[in-house]
């Protein structure tokens, strides 16, 4: 039970940081039409979801083997 809470908190922290960074780059990029910032925001968004996916795969692998 403790492991699932720790994994949940890890995923929550990654999501908050990832979406915060995405908004930090995306909103000013759209306002100023700065396309490199918009591209960077997209890369951060995709990377955030990939991190979550990797954590979920590891989590289900650990649960399945235990």
Query: pLDDT tens digits for the chain (66 residues)?
Result: 577 888 889 899 999 999 999 999 999 999 999 999 999 999 999 999 999 999 889 888 887 776
Please list, in sequence order, all residues whose beta carbon lies within 8 angstroms of the beta carbon of residue 18, skipping any fewer than 6 positions away: 44, 45, 47, 48, 49, 51
* pTM recorded for the entire structure: 0.81
Range of the domain at 28: 2-65
The tally of domains found in the chain comes to 1
pLDDT at 66: 65
Distance, in Å, from the CA atom of 66 to the CA atom of 52, rounded to the nearest integer, reads 21
pLDDT at 63: 73
pLDDT at 1: 56
Q: Residue 10 CB: number of other CB atoms within 10 A?
A: 14
């Amino acid at each position: 039970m403790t492991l699932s809470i720790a994994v949940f908190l890890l995923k929550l922290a990654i999501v908050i940081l990832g979406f915060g960074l995405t908004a930090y780059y995306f909103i000013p990029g759209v306002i100023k039409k700065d396309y490199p910032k918009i591209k960077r925001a997209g890369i951060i968004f995709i990377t955030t979801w990939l991190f979550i996916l990797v954590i979920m795969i590891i989590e289900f692998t650990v649960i399945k083997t235990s």
